[in-house]
């Protein structure tokens, strides 16, 4: 049974589906535009579970296309810290609920990411890369990414900013994020399922959201193909600029709510 949405809401949903696909295969960061749309359609808490299957579908496309372009060493550095962040995020989600968690944490997360962006731009060049590869930056980015991806599927700007300081080309940038988010998003499924069973009065996934996800799969695929084409055409320097601009825009959105 599909959710009862107006024609205009279905139109927004279709655009959101395509943006999910494009964000995974060529335009990291545009996925942040999807978060408020899904919250509008389903409410803050339910939107977390409604969006997750679409992200995983898009991750599969990205992994299939960029499977040989992953920097596994970068993922290994983050793994422990991201796991810690996911655990913290799960606790926040269980305590506050989806919408309340996003409302409570959003401004803090936005402010932190903007501070990270300012540091990255202030250092630039070799200094920026050295700082971004340090333990403190890696730990902070990993924990923050784990928290944000769990409570609102909004770790895109954190990870984009982290990757921007690693000195990788655009394919390795997208390929590394593809494998990272595929692993993280799949690991979140049992967490959201467990929270749904533990709190049936405020579920994170329902039959309606899963039916909605099934309908959206073709739109995600269209967006994924489009994102891949964009990545092929956009120059490396322009790609890096777009990533930073999108990370800044997403951070401001989190900051102001």
20-30 residue pLDDT tens: 999 899 888 77
Instruction: Delimit the domains of the chain by residue range.
Output: 7-256
pLDDT, residue 105, reads 55
Q: What is the pLDDT of residues 198-209, one digit of tens each?
A: 777 778 888 999
pLDDT, residue 113, reads 65
pLDDT, residue 169, reads 87
pTM, whole model, 2 decimals? 0.83
Looking at per-residue confidence, does 125 or 180 come out higher?
180
Report the sign of the C-alpha dihedral through residues 151, 156, 158, 159, in that order: positive
**Average of per-residue pLDDT values in the chain:** 82
Question: What mean pLDDT is predicted for residues 76-84?
Answer: 92
Rounded to the nearest 10 degrees, what angle do helices 44-66 and 170-198 cross at?
140
Q: Which range, 44-48, 72-76, 115-119, 137-141, is most confident? A: 72-76
Quote the Cα angle for 68-73-79, to 5°: 110
- Is the confidence at residue 111, as pLDDT, over 70? no
Expressed in angstroms, the distance from the first to the final Cα of the chain is 32
């Amino acid at each position: 049974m599909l959710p009862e949405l107006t024609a205009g809401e279905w139109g927004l949903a279709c655009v959101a589906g395509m943006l999910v696909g494009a964000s995974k295969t060529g335009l990291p960061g545009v996925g942040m535009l999807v978060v408020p749309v899904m919250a509008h359609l389903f409410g803050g808490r339910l939107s977390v579970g409604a969006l997750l299957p679409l992200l995983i579908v898009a991750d599969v496309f990205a992994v299939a296309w960029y499977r040989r372009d992953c920097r596994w060493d970068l993922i290994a550095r983050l793994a422990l810290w991201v796991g810690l962040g996911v655990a913290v995020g799960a606790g926040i989600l269980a305590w506050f609920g989806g919408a309340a968690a996003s409302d409570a944490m959003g401004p803090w997360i936005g402010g932190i990411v903007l501070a990270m962006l300012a540091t990255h731009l202030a250092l630039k060049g070799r200094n920026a890369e050295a700082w971004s590869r340090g333990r403190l930056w890696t730990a902070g980015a990993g924990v923050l990414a784990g928290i944000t991806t769990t409570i609102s599927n909004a770790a895109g700007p954190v990870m984009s900013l982290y990757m921007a300081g690693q000195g990788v080309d655009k394919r390795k940038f997208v390929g590394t994020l593809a494998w990272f988010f595929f692993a993280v998003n799949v690991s979140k499924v049992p967490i959201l399922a467990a929270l749904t069973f533990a709190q049936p009065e405020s579920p994170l996934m329902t039959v309606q959201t899963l039916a909605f996800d099934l309908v959206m799969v073709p739109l995600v695929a269209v967006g994924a193909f489009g994102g891949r084409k964009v990545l092929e055409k956009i120059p490396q320097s322009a790609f890096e600029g777009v990533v930073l601009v999108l990370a800044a825009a997403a951070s401001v959105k989190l900051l102001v709510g």
